[in-house]
Each structure stands twice: as structure tokens, then as C-alpha cells.
Homo-oligomer: A and B are copies of this chain.
Amino acid sequence: MKIGLIGAGRIGEIHAKNIFQTKNAKLIAISDINTERAKILSEEFNAKVLSADEIIQNSEIDAVLICSSTDTHLNYIIEAAKAGKHIFCEKPLALNLNEIDEALKIVQACGVKLQVGFNRRFDPEFSSAKKLISESLGAVLQIKITSRDPSPPPVEYIKTSGGLFCDMAIHDFDMARFLTGSEVSEVFSMGSCRIDPQIGNLGDIDTAITTLKFENGAMVVIDNCRATNYGYDQRLEIFGKGGMIQVDNKRQNEIILTSDWGSKKEKPLHFFLERYEESYKRELNSFLNSLEKQTPIECDGIDGKMAIKIALAAQKSLEENRPVKL
């Protein structure tokens, strides 16, 4: 399987490295609007520097990984689909539902496969938790998702991110759909700016609690914050008729040091690069497997669309201070 990478930022680099360590795929070419950056990565991973268009039109390439900025996603998806390339696209697909629908139609018409980068579904802990639901819990009553970043992104990023719900909580909305296996019927969110006034000045929030009703009766609550002083807080709790599943944070090590001030463990891993290292590998393998074995994509375009749909409804709920139906 021969791969082209569009977008050589932090996430692009992760994927490049994971392709490099995979036996059954090869990174052929890399593009980035910053060609210097593309060059560095291409040397490290033994690939060519091409433009995004050249990658998409390159007959040698089977699949493209789109890791560029959100506003470019749909164009690249459409072009790649038309060029017959399979597509892996980072989240969010886009911020406009109609445009997403248009793009997904084209993808389908072209008969190519599209995976969206909700990598957390592939986290060993979370995917084991998902399996445990059906094995041990039965009907899900309540899910609690904690998702807090160690520190806010740069203000520049906030400006174009689409806001906390579309940029950050979107992973949690997808996780809620993944775990319940059902669709959201109603969203209510509350949020405020408690961490950094600059975020508030841009009209965004940094602290939020969102509650979701699902069609199958499950209730989900998600708490988000753009900053903690203790690292990346990523936890799940699933409560059902058969019991409760809890997934705690991961740490650098599990050593316990006991002294006159008490017993201490390391704080949680710093951020997504550390916490989800394994899930990035597994989502790539899942994508390559689906292509190789012609099996369904585990996290597809509809998943990408539904998460943004929930995020937009949460944003509306916040603005209008009322529950919003989907």
C-alpha cells in the first residue's frame, strides 16, 4: 500500500512515523504549505516532497492521508476521491454540514474508502471498555466522559478552530456515539470562559459541561476544560444494568512513592501525543487492513459528519441556553 501525506504538522508526523514502522505500507510523498517542514519529514522518512495536487494525481499512490488545516479537508477529499484514492482524513471533516454531505456523496460515487481520524476509538483501554459493555453491562444507563487538555492552544488556533465543541469536544461526541452505539436525540450545554480571558474575547469558551440524550435511552455527560495543572485528563465511566466500567488516566509509570507527605503516583501523561501514541498506530493499521481486506472502515464519513452535527447543536444550545434537538 503506497501512501501520500498531505499536511506535515504534528499529527502528520505521527502518521508518517507509524507508516514507516509498518511492514505493509510505504510513505511515498509528503506535501505541506511550509515546504521546509515537508522537506525535513521527507528526509526523515525517506519520501519525496510533492505538492498536494501532485500527490493526489500520482498514479503510484493508493491512498492519501489528509492532515492539513480543517478548511482544506473537503477539497482534498473531493479531489482525492475523484482521483480514485482511498482517504484518511483528520477530524473534523469540516464545520459545515451541507458541505460535508456533498463531499460524502462524491466519495461514495467514486467508490473509494474514507476513514475519519477519531483515533480514540482505537485506544486499547477505550476499545476494551467498548467490548466490556456488551460482555458485562448490558443496557447502558449513564456515561461520563472527562476530557481536559493540559493547556489551551495558541490564540491564533482558537480563532479558526470552530470553538471548543467543534475542535475539542468533538472527540468526546464521537466517543459517546461509539460507546452507546446509538444516535443523539438532544443536547444541552453550559460553558464559560474561566481559564484565559483571551479565549473569551474571541467569543469562545474554555470550560463546558454537555449533556446528551441518546435514542436508546442512554444519558451522557461530558466535561471539558482547556487547561489543567496536572496534564491530560482522559477518563471514561460507563454505568449500566450489569455494573460499571471505569477507565482511568495513564501515567508515565505506576510507581508508588511513600514518604512523610503521603503516597504518590505520577500525574497523567502530558498530552495526546503521549496518551494516544498507541491509538494512532492502531487507527492506521485499521485503515490499511480495511483497504487490504476490503472490509468496512471502522470510523467512516458518517461518523465524521455526526460528530460535527452534535458539536454544532451543542454550540447552538450554549448560545440559546436551551436543549437542542438533532
Report which A residues bind B (CB closer than 8 A): 21, 124-125, 128-129, 132, 136, 139, 141-142, 144, 146, 148, 186, 188, 190, 192, 194, 207-209, 211, 213, 217, 219, 221, 223, 225, 228-230, 233, 239, 241-248, 250-268, 321-323
Please determine whether A255 and B244 come into contact, CB atoms closer than 8 angstroms: no
In the complex, chain B residues whose CB is within 8 Å of the CB of A128: 252-253, 255
A259–B124 CA distance with the chains assembled, in angstroms: 22
In the complex, chain B residues whose CB is within 8 Å of the CB of A188: 188, 190, 211, 323
Please determine whether B233 and A228 come into contact, CB atoms closer than 8 angstroms: no
Please determine whether A192 and B209 come into contact, CB atoms closer than 8 angstroms: no
Our pick among B141, B221, B244, B254 for the contact of A258 (Cβ within 8 Å) is B244
- In addition to A132-B257, A188-B323, 16 A-B residue pairs with Cβ atoms within 8 Å of each other are A128-B255, A142-B225, A144-B146, A192-B219, A207-B219, A208-B219, A229-B259, A230-B263, A233-B244, A243-B260, A245-B255, A245-B256, A246-B256, A260-B267, A263-B265, A263-B266
A205–B323 CA distance with the chains assembled, in angstroms: 19
Q: Which of A209, A217, A242, A248 has the most C-beta atoms of chain B within 10 angstroms of its own C-beta?
A: A209
In the complex, chain B residues whose CB is within 8 Å of the CB of A254: 125, 247-248, 250
CB-based nearest B residue for A219: B209
Please determine whether B217 and A190 come into contact, CB atoms closer than 8 angstroms: no
CB-based nearest B residue for A260: B229
A252–B321 CA distance with the chains assembled, in angstroms: 43
A228–B262 CA distance with the chains assembled, in angstroms: 12
In the complex, chain B residues whose CB is within 8 Å of the CB of A124: 252-253
Please determine whether A243 and B258 come into contact, CB atoms closer than 8 angstroms: yes
Known A21-B21, A223-B221; judge A257-B239 contact (CB<8 A): no
Q: Which of A213, A217, A223, A225 has the most C-beta atoms of chain B within 10 angstroms of its own C-beta?
A: A223
Please determine whether B256 and A267 come into contact, CB atoms closer than 8 angstroms: no
Name the 9 nearest CB pairs between A and B, nearest first: A243-B259, A246-B256, A244-B258, A262-B267, A263-B265, A229-B260, A230-B258, A264-B264, A262-B264
Q: How near does chain B come to A318, taking the closest CB pair, in angstroms?
A: 11
Please determine whether A259 and B242 come into contact, CB atoms closer than 8 angstroms: yes
In the complex, chain B residues whose CB is within 8 Å of the CB of A233: 244
Q: How near does chain B come to A254, taking the closest CB pair, in angstroms?
A: 6
Known A267-B263, A323-B188; judge A129-B221 contact (CB<8 A): no
